[in-house]
Amino acid sequence: MKQVPIGVSARHIHLSEEHIELLFGKGYQLKVLKDLSQPGQYAAEETVAVVGPKGKFEKVRILGPARGGTQLEVSRTDAFSLGLNPPVRESGNTDGTPGIQLIGPAGEVTIPQGVIIAARHIHFHTDDAAKWGIIDKQLLTVKIEGERSLIFEQVLARVSDQYSLDMHIDTDEANAAGAKTGDIALILS
Protein backbone atom coordinates (compact mmCIF):
# COMPACT_ATOMS: atom_id res chain seq x y z
CA MET A 1 0.00 0.00 0.00
CA LYS A 2 1.43 3.31 -1.16
CA GLN A 3 0.10 5.69 1.46
CA VAL A 4 0.72 9.42 1.19
CA PRO A 5 -0.23 12.12 3.68
CA ILE A 6 -2.41 14.88 2.28
CA GLY A 7 -1.58 18.56 2.60
CA VAL A 8 -4.43 20.92 1.72
CA SER A 9 -3.26 24.21 0.21
CA ALA A 10 -5.47 27.19 0.94
CA ARG A 11 -5.02 30.25 -1.27
CA HIS A 12 -1.52 31.68 -0.87
CA ILE A 13 1.11 33.75 -2.62
CA HIS A 14 4.82 33.45 -3.38
CA LEU A 15 6.56 36.80 -3.82
CA SER A 16 9.74 37.83 -5.60
CA GLU A 17 12.31 39.89 -3.65
CA GLU A 18 11.35 42.89 -5.77
CA HIS A 19 7.66 42.59 -4.87
CA ILE A 20 8.40 42.03 -1.17
CA GLU A 21 10.21 45.38 -1.20
CA LEU A 22 7.45 47.14 -3.15
CA LEU A 23 4.75 45.84 -0.78
CA PHE A 24 6.60 45.90 2.56
CA GLY A 25 9.47 48.35 2.10
CA LYS A 26 13.12 48.42 1.10
CA GLY A 27 15.16 45.55 2.54
CA TYR A 28 12.15 43.95 4.24
CA GLN A 29 12.59 40.36 5.46
CA LEU A 30 9.61 38.01 5.85
CA LYS A 31 9.10 36.55 9.33
CA VAL A 32 8.58 32.81 9.75
CA LEU A 33 5.17 31.94 11.20
CA LYS A 34 5.31 28.17 10.67
CA ASP A 35 7.49 25.69 8.80
CA LEU A 36 5.76 23.75 6.02
CA SER A 37 6.11 20.08 5.10
CA GLN A 38 8.65 20.77 2.35
CA PRO A 39 12.11 21.50 3.81
CA GLY A 40 12.98 25.23 3.85
CA GLN A 41 9.45 26.37 2.97
CA TYR A 42 7.45 28.37 5.51
CA ALA A 43 4.23 30.29 6.02
CA ALA A 44 5.18 33.91 6.74
CA GLU A 45 3.57 36.10 9.36
CA GLU A 46 2.82 38.61 6.61
CA THR A 47 -0.23 38.69 4.35
CA VAL A 48 -1.18 40.82 1.34
CA ALA A 49 -4.52 41.92 -0.06
CA VAL A 50 -5.30 40.74 -3.61
CA VAL A 51 -7.84 42.62 -5.72
CA GLY A 52 -9.48 41.09 -8.80
CA PRO A 53 -12.09 42.50 -11.20
CA LYS A 54 -15.00 41.12 -9.17
CA GLY A 55 -13.74 40.64 -5.63
CA LYS A 56 -10.86 40.83 -3.21
CA PHE A 57 -9.27 38.80 -0.44
CA GLU A 58 -7.98 40.97 2.38
CA LYS A 59 -5.44 38.58 3.85
CA VAL A 60 -3.66 36.13 1.60
CA ARG A 61 -0.87 34.25 3.36
CA ILE A 62 2.64 34.69 1.97
CA LEU A 63 4.72 31.53 1.70
CA GLY A 64 8.47 32.01 1.91
CA PRO A 65 11.24 32.17 1.04
CA ALA A 66 11.16 34.67 -1.85
CA ARG A 67 11.00 33.14 -5.32
CA GLY A 68 12.15 34.20 -8.75
CA GLY A 69 8.62 35.09 -9.80
CA THR A 70 5.52 36.16 -7.92
CA GLN A 71 2.71 33.61 -8.09
CA LEU A 72 -0.78 33.64 -6.54
CA GLU A 73 -2.31 30.19 -6.09
CA VAL A 74 -6.09 30.07 -5.71
CA SER A 75 -8.84 27.50 -5.92
CA ARG A 76 -11.35 27.68 -8.76
CA THR A 77 -13.93 28.81 -6.18
CA ASP A 78 -11.59 31.67 -5.21
CA ALA A 79 -11.02 32.49 -8.89
CA PHE A 80 -14.77 32.94 -9.45
CA SER A 81 -14.91 35.26 -6.41
CA LEU A 82 -12.05 37.35 -7.81
CA GLY A 83 -13.54 37.39 -11.30
CA LEU A 84 -10.59 35.61 -12.92
CA ASN A 85 -10.29 32.47 -15.02
CA PRO A 86 -6.78 31.17 -14.34
CA PRO A 87 -5.58 27.90 -15.83
CA VAL A 88 -4.58 24.80 -13.88
CA ARG A 89 -0.79 24.92 -13.89
CA GLU A 90 2.28 23.42 -12.35
CA SER A 91 4.00 25.81 -9.95
CA GLY A 92 6.34 28.22 -11.72
CA ASN A 93 4.62 27.93 -15.10
CA THR A 94 2.81 31.27 -15.25
CA ASP A 95 3.16 32.31 -18.89
CA GLY A 96 -0.12 33.72 -20.18
CA THR A 97 -1.89 33.51 -16.83
CA PRO A 98 -4.01 36.39 -15.48
CA GLY A 99 -2.47 39.19 -13.44
CA ILE A 100 -3.85 40.81 -10.31
CA GLN A 101 -3.39 43.79 -8.00
CA LEU A 102 -1.47 43.21 -4.74
CA ILE A 103 -1.65 45.61 -1.80
CA GLY A 104 0.78 45.62 1.10
CA PRO A 105 1.37 48.00 4.03
CA ALA A 106 4.09 49.93 2.16
CA GLY A 107 2.81 49.93 -1.39
CA GLU A 108 0.95 48.17 -4.14
CA VAL A 109 1.74 46.53 -7.44
CA THR A 110 -0.25 45.03 -10.29
CA ILE A 111 1.41 41.91 -11.62
CA PRO A 112 0.76 41.30 -15.35
CA GLN A 113 0.58 37.53 -14.85
CA GLY A 114 1.03 34.95 -12.09
CA VAL A 115 -2.42 33.74 -10.97
CA ILE A 116 -2.81 29.97 -11.24
CA ILE A 117 -4.90 27.10 -9.97
CA ALA A 118 -2.16 24.75 -8.76
CA ALA A 119 -2.18 21.33 -10.41
CA ARG A 120 -2.47 18.57 -7.81
CA HIS A 121 0.82 16.81 -7.24
CA ILE A 122 2.74 14.58 -4.89
CA HIS A 123 6.17 15.45 -3.54
CA PHE A 124 8.34 12.36 -3.16
CA HIS A 125 11.70 12.15 -1.51
CA THR A 126 14.01 10.31 -3.89
CA ASP A 127 14.06 7.33 -1.51
CA ASP A 128 10.24 7.03 -1.38
CA ALA A 129 10.02 7.25 -5.15
CA ALA A 130 12.72 4.61 -5.67
CA LYS A 131 11.06 2.25 -3.17
CA TRP A 132 7.74 2.48 -5.04
CA GLY A 133 9.20 2.60 -8.56
CA ILE A 134 7.90 6.09 -9.24
CA ILE A 135 9.77 8.55 -11.44
CA ASP A 136 9.74 12.34 -11.68
CA LYS A 137 6.84 13.74 -13.77
CA GLN A 138 4.98 10.39 -13.78
CA LEU A 139 1.19 10.79 -13.75
CA LEU A 140 -0.45 8.78 -10.98
CA THR A 141 -3.94 7.66 -10.04
CA VAL A 142 -4.67 8.35 -6.39
CA LYS A 143 -7.65 7.59 -4.19
CA ILE A 144 -8.95 9.45 -1.19
CA GLU A 145 -11.37 7.23 0.71
CA GLY A 146 -14.41 8.25 2.73
CA GLU A 147 -18.07 9.06 2.26
CA ARG A 148 -17.08 11.43 -0.56
CA SER A 149 -14.51 8.98 -1.93
CA LEU A 150 -12.72 10.33 -4.99
CA ILE A 151 -10.16 8.96 -7.40
CA PHE A 152 -7.82 11.57 -8.84
CA GLU A 153 -6.22 10.80 -12.18
CA GLN A 154 -3.25 12.65 -13.66
CA VAL A 155 -1.63 13.44 -10.32
CA LEU A 156 1.87 14.70 -11.07
CA ALA A 157 4.81 13.06 -9.29
CA ARG A 158 7.59 15.44 -8.30
CA VAL A 159 10.72 13.69 -7.07
CA SER A 160 13.70 15.31 -5.32
CA ASP A 161 16.01 14.65 -2.41
CA GLN A 162 14.83 18.08 -1.22
CA TYR A 163 11.22 16.90 -0.91
CA SER A 164 9.24 15.22 1.82
CA LEU A 165 6.37 12.84 0.99
CA ASP A 166 3.15 14.88 0.70
CA MET A 167 0.17 15.11 -1.67
CA HIS A 168 -0.83 18.70 -2.35
CA ILE A 169 -4.42 19.43 -3.30
CA ASP A 170 -6.37 22.67 -3.11
CA THR A 171 -9.40 23.45 -0.98
CA ASP A 172 -11.90 22.60 -3.76
CA GLU A 173 -10.33 19.17 -4.18
CA ALA A 174 -10.13 18.63 -0.41
CA ASN A 175 -13.72 19.68 0.15
CA ALA A 176 -15.00 17.60 -2.75
CA ALA A 177 -13.24 14.59 -1.22
CA GLY A 178 -14.19 15.46 2.37
CA ALA A 179 -10.47 15.44 3.21
CA LYS A 180 -8.24 17.53 5.44
CA THR A 181 -4.51 17.96 6.00
CA GLY A 182 -3.06 14.83 7.57
CA ASP A 183 -5.54 12.44 5.98
CA ILE A 184 -4.10 9.62 3.89
CA ALA A 185 -4.33 9.10 0.14
CA LEU A 186 -3.59 5.81 -1.64
CA ILE A 187 -1.63 5.61 -4.87
CA LEU A 188 -3.52 3.07 -6.99
CA SER A 189 -1.26 3.10 -10.04
Distance CA 55, CA 86 (A): 15
Q: What DSSP character marks residue 30?
A: P
Among 56, 61, 67, 76, binds a copy of itself (CB under 8 A): 76
In Å, what is the CA distance from 75 to each residue of 35, 82, 118, 147, 172?
22, 11, 8, 22, 6
Pick between residue 32 and residue 88 the one whose CB is nearest to a copy of itself: 88
Closest approach of a copy of itself to the CB of residue 132, in Å: 21
Which amino acid is it at 175? N
Q: What are phi and psi of 167, to 5 degrees?
A: -100, 120
- Binding flags for a copy of itself, 167-186, as an x/- string (CB under 8 A): ---xxxx-xxxx--------
Stretch that binds a copy of itself, among 34-42, 53-61, 65-73, 145-153 (CB under 8 A): 145-153
Q: Does 138 bind a copy of itself (CB under 8 A)?
A: no
Which is nearer to a copy of itself, 109 or 174 (by Cβ)? 174
Instruction: Give DSSP secondary structure letters for 135-189.
Output: -TT-EEEEEE-STT-EEEEEEEEEEETT--SEEEEEHHHHHHHT--TT-EEEE--
Residue 75 lies near a copy of itself (rule: CB under 8 A): yes
**Residue with Cβ nearer a copy of itself (82 or 111):** 82
Of 85 and 110, CB closest to a copy of itself: 85
Smallest distance, a copy of itself to C-beta of residue 4, A: 17
Burial annotation 54-78 (CB, 10 A radius, 16+ → b, else e) = eebbeebbbbbebbeebbbbbbbeb
How many residues bind to a copy of itself according to rule CB under 8 A?
22
Residues binding a copy of itself (CB under 8 A): 75-77, 80, 88, 120, 147-154, 170-173, 175-178
